[in-house]
Structure 1
Amino acid sequence: MAAVVEVEVGGGAAGERELEEVSGTQPETEGRGSEHARMHAKHRGHEAMHAEMVLILIATLVVAQLLLVQWKQRHPRSYNMVTLFQMWVVPLYFTVKLHWWRFLVIWILFSAVTAFVTFRATRKPLVQTTPRLVYKWFLLIYKISYATGIVGYMAVMFTLFGLNLLFKIKPEDAMDFGISLLFYGLYYGVLERDFAEMCADYMASTIGFYSESGMPTKHLSDSVCAVCGQQIFVDVSEEGIIENTYRLSCNHVFHEFCIRGWCIVGKKQTCPYCKEKVDLKRMFSNPWERPHVMYGQLLDWLRYLVAWQPVIIGVVQGINYILGLE
């Protein structure tokens, strides 16, 4: 009998504890319910607000695209300078803000060498070795950025297909590695093309074989390169040890590095001397080199994405703030 009493007393104590726990959780449940209700009341009607924000974003993108196209057609020089400045500064802002020190170190090294090369390209009188130095530097950066972008793209694709598991690499680490390489390749590929175009125009005008009116200001010898102004020692039909000699459809001959830099890196599609249109597919017979032209077109599209997209997003956020949209 005593044992039964003890069991009953123990059961009563446990029941009291359960009642206390249930009664203690009721205020917490009520608090969460009221907080959930307040959140719903705060965000009530935001569906229409979000629709307005989407419409503002689409309208801003369309208007900005039209304005940029008109600006580029009417004032290409100022458009290119502003775009180059934004390409230079916008990533630097995010780098300092997010503490990407590795990118900052590479950016400083690239900026220092490019500043020296650009300084040499803008001096008068122009040293004869400067054009080759400029084109070789930008061709080197072009090839490095191209290869880096390809490796980054392959790393991303291998991660998506799960091939990183064969090397016991975590998916997040492999994806970060691929995206980082892809960003480095595309960013510096866009940046060096803009600097190369600026240097190409300035040096060609300084040398004198090219002018804005299209009339050459110097007579070009058959054995002189129209880009760098130096002698050509390798015949077109011969295989050069360091570089070959190219002949365009207009029968003018150039050093390999010079004409590659003029046509591909500097985005020039005309002969430096007579300004005749150049057929790149006929000029570069090696099929492995043809994708370089398509890669250059991809960089032109990414220039808009990197330089102007953050500005457009900032304008959209400013409009939403003025209109009180959240």
Structure 2
Amino acid sequence: MIIGISQKLSYPLITSHYTIAQNARSPTNVLLQVSCASWQPCIKMADVAMENKTNEDLTPEEKWRLEHIKLHKHHEGHESMHAEMILILLVTLVVAQIVLVEWKKRHYRSYMFSTLIGMWIIPLLLCLKNQWWRFIFLWLLFSCITSLVVRKAIQKPIEGTTPRLVYKWFYFLYKLSYALGLIGYVIMMATFFGLHVVFDAKPHTWMDVGLLFVFYGLYYGVLGRDIAEICADKMASHIGYYTDHGMPTRHLDSGVCAVCGNKLLVQENEEGVLENTYKLSCNHVFHEFCIRGWCIVGKKQTCPYCKEKVDLKKMFCNPWERPHVLYGQLLDWIRWLVAWQPLILFLVQCINWALGLE
């Protein structure tokens, strides 16, 4: 059957597509199996498929292939225009990257704040447009809880229990993001090794689930870390044990945590019931969750009181708990991908529209 149809397709393009339909039991199957040298016979066969099958009768794969063929037909003969569009895209990406790098060097705070707003708002707008309700629900849940926590962190006077509440929330987000990313990575690796066959599942389904877990882990992990850094600076400066420049405005008493200002329950060499006490190389002591939140969540590598460099390898033996080791420049790449790439692509679309390119 396939050989006979291929021979007919080798004739001039005036061969009737109705003859092909009559010799084929399923026109759509012919469409899916024949490799065409020209798009015109394929478009004719697509017309036959649409005449003999309604849109509801087509499988998702058949619909995708029909749309793919029509797309190629629509853009046939536009090679020069497509080359111009690719050139515009490359030039815009290079210029935008240079602008963002210079902006980050010269005005770091405004760059990070703009990036944070973009990461928080742009994904929501895209999901509202595409009606992706799962992300919208999770985004609203995250935003509501985080807004309440940030509100407590920036208010004056700050309550004594606020630092622990803030650090625990962002520390929970930190752990959750790692767990989601790890689960997604395991699912993707299992797909590569063919374990989906054991569960009689399609590989693209497992890959979609794995990428979904990785995206949620990276997105909320990076967003939570950036917000936590702002909260860490605000709380520490409000308490008085930490300032960006100069000496602290309050004296640190013995047996008091320099982050939250509360009494230490156990000594640094004792095992705590709820949390332990950590002592830095500068001999300042802190609650476990306070210093973990300061170093891990807030991305700080200095003592909150004296600003001395912290030896993280001695303080945290688990390599998963050392900041800037596993993330590194990946954080900046995620910020660029989520916050700036949609804006750059939108700018490219505007340029193409202004020049009349399709």
Q: TM-score, normalised by structure 2?
A: 0.76
Q: Any conservation in 1 of the 2:85–2:352 contact (CA below 8 Å)?
A: yes
- The aligned runs of 1:134-149 (5 Å cut-off) are 134-149=166-181
Question: 2: CA distance between counterparts of 1:114 and 1:102?
Answer: 18
Q: CA deviation at 1:170?
A: 2.3
Distance 1:24 1:183, change over 3 A: closer
Q: Any conservation in 1 of the 2:173–2:224 contact (CA below 8 Å)?
A: yes
Q: Any conservation in 2 of the 1:264–1:293 contact (CA below 8 Å)?
A: no
Sequence identity percentage = 61
Q: Any conservation in 2 of the 1:190–1:299 contact (CA below 8 Å)?
A: yes
Which structure exhibits the higher relative contact order, with contacts defined as CA atoms closer than 8 Å and separated by 6 or more residues? Answer: 1
CA offsets 1:126-154 (integer angstroms, 9 cap, x no match): 00000000000000011011101110111
Instruction: Name the aligned partner's letter for residue 125 of structure 2.
Output: Y
CA offsets 1:197-246 (integer angstroms, 9 cap, x no match): 11111111100111121321111123111111111122111222221111
Distance 1:122 1:279, change over 3 A: same
- State the SS of the aligned residue for 1:200: helix
Matched residue, 1:12: none
Matched residue, 2:116: 84
Matched residue, 1:133: 165
Matched residue, 1:8: none
Q: Any conservation in 2 of the 1:135–1:258 contact (CA below 8 Å)?
A: yes
Larger Rg: 1
Question: 1: CA distance between counterparts of 2:250 and 2:323?
Answer: 35
Matched residue, 1:25: 16
1:279 to 288, 303, 311: 311
Question: 2: CA distance between counterparts of 1:42 and 1:281?
Answer: 57
CA RMSD of aligned residues (A): 2.6
- State the SS of the aligned residue for 1:193: helix
1:194 to 197, 216, 226: 226
- State the SS of the aligned residue for 1:254: strand
Unaligned runs of 5+ in 1: 1-22
CA offsets 1:274-302 (integer angstroms, 9 cap, x no match): 11222322321234534884136533431
- The aligned runs of 1:32-111 (5 Å cut-off) are 32=40, 43-44=76-77, 46-111=78-143
Instruction: Name the aligned partner's letter for residue 25 of structure 1.
Output: S
- State the SS of the aligned residue for 1:209: coil
Distance 1:49 1:220, change over 3 A: same
- Of residues 245-254 and 289-298 in structure 1, the stretch that sits farther from structure 2 once superposed is 289-298
Question: 2: CA distance between counterparts of 1:256 and 1:41?
Answer: 62
Question: 2: CA distance between counterparts of 1:83 and 1:112?
Answer: 20
Matched residue, 1:217: 249
Question: 2: CA distance between counterparts of 1:95 and 1:26?
Answer: 42
Q: Any conservation in 1 of the 2:296–2:323 contact (CA below 8 Å)?
A: no
2:289 to 253, 257, 268: 257
- State the SS of the aligned residue for 2:327: helix
Which has a greater percent of helix? 1
Matched residue, 1:309: 341
Distance 1:179 1:284, change over 3 A: same
Q: Any conservation in 1 of the 2:299–2:323 contact (CA below 8 Å)?
A: no
Matched residue, 1:4: none
Question: 1: CA distance between counterparts of 2:146 and 2:107?
Answer: 25
Instruction: Name the aligned partner's letter for residue 68 of structure 1.
Output: L
CA offsets 1:83-115 (integer angstroms, 9 cap, x no match): 111111111112212222122111111111111
Q: CA deviation at 1:40?
A: 8.4
Question: 2: CA distance between counterparts of 1:284 and 1:260?
Answer: 9
Equivalent pairs counted in the alignment come to 298
Q: CA deviation at 1:59?
A: 2.2
Q: CA deviation at 1:51?
A: 3.1
Distance 1:192 1:287, change over 3 A: closer
Question: 1: CA distance between counterparts of 2:316 and 2:209?
Answer: 33
Question: 1: CA distance between counterparts of 2:142 and 2:157?
Answer: 26
Matched residue, 1:289: 321
Q: CA deviation at 1:160?
A: 2.0
Q: Any conservation in 2 of the 1:264–1:296 contact (CA below 8 Å)?
A: no
- State the SS of the aligned residue for 2:326: helix
Q: CA deviation at 1:43?
A: 4.4
- State the SS of the aligned residue for 1:59: helix
Q: CA deviation at 1:26?
A: 8.5
Distance 1:41 1:274, change over 3 A: closer
Question: 2: CA distance between counterparts of 1:90 and 1:71?
Answer: 20
CA offsets 1:166-217 (integer angstroms, 9 cap, x no match): 1222223212211111111111111111110111111111001111213211
Matched residue, 1:115: 147
